[in-house]
Amino acid sequence: MTCMYTQRLITSFINDELSLSELDKFIHHVKACDECYEELEVYFTLLTAMKQLDEEQNLSNDYRLELKNKIYYSEEKIVNKRIHKIRKIIMFCMIVLFTSTIISFKNGVISKEAKGVHSKTISEYNLKYEYKSNKYINRELEYNNYLNVLFDNKN
């Protein structure tokens, strides 16, 4: 983030209007750049004092400390949101794993039922192949029976 861009975000930072990634980059820059930090301090003091006057609150005695606190809480917010995101991803992975385990278990049970004795999961190809070869065996038996009947009749 450049100094110009950072300084353009100062008001949004003070009004809590930055997105999480913007906030992250903003704080990262401000902590490393004295010029931008000073600029932030000036704006923070001005805007916060104006807001306090507007809302008829007591004026703060230490705007520097307030700014430091605001930065500290913003950093905490970023960390918490990241942990929350990681937790969500882990939960999602666990759900996917759980669902796929259930699905593969169910498929195993279904093909077990289809085959009767087989305990392994049978692929679709194997099922088709077995079906076809069974069909041919049946045809061959039918043909042999037919021939037998023919020969029996001739004898």
Give the nearer residue to Zn ion in terms of CB position, either 3 or 141: 3
State yes or no: residue 27 binds Zn ion (CB under 5 A).
no
State the sign of the Cα–Cα–Cα–Cα dihedral 77, 7, 28, 47: negative
Distance (Å, rounded) from C-alpha 19 to C-alpha 16? 9
Q: Alpha-carbon distance 45 to 53, whole Å?
A: 12
All residues at 6 or more sequence positions from 40 whose CB lies less than 8 Å from its CB, including other chains: 10, 13, 30, 67
User: Would you give the DSSP letter of residue 117?
Assistant: S
71 binds Zn ion (CB under 5 A): no
Binds Zn ion (CB under 5 A): choice among 3, 49, 83, 103: 3
The count of chain residues that interact with Zn ion, using the rule CB under 5 A, is 3
Decide if residue 96 touches Zn ion (CB under 5 A).
Answer: no
Tell me how far, at minimum, the Cβ of 41 lies from Zn ion, in Å.
13
1 binds Zn ion (CB under 5 A): no
What are the distances in angstroms from CA 152 to CA 66, 67, 144, 145, 146? 109, 107, 12, 10, 10
Write the interaction track for Zn ion spanning residues 31-50; mark x where CB under 5 A is met and - where it is not: --x--x--------------
Q: Give the range of 18-26, 30-38, 75-83, 142-150 binding Zn ion by CB under 5 A.
A: 30-38
Residues at the site binding Zn ion, with contacts judged by CB under 5 A: 3, 33, 36
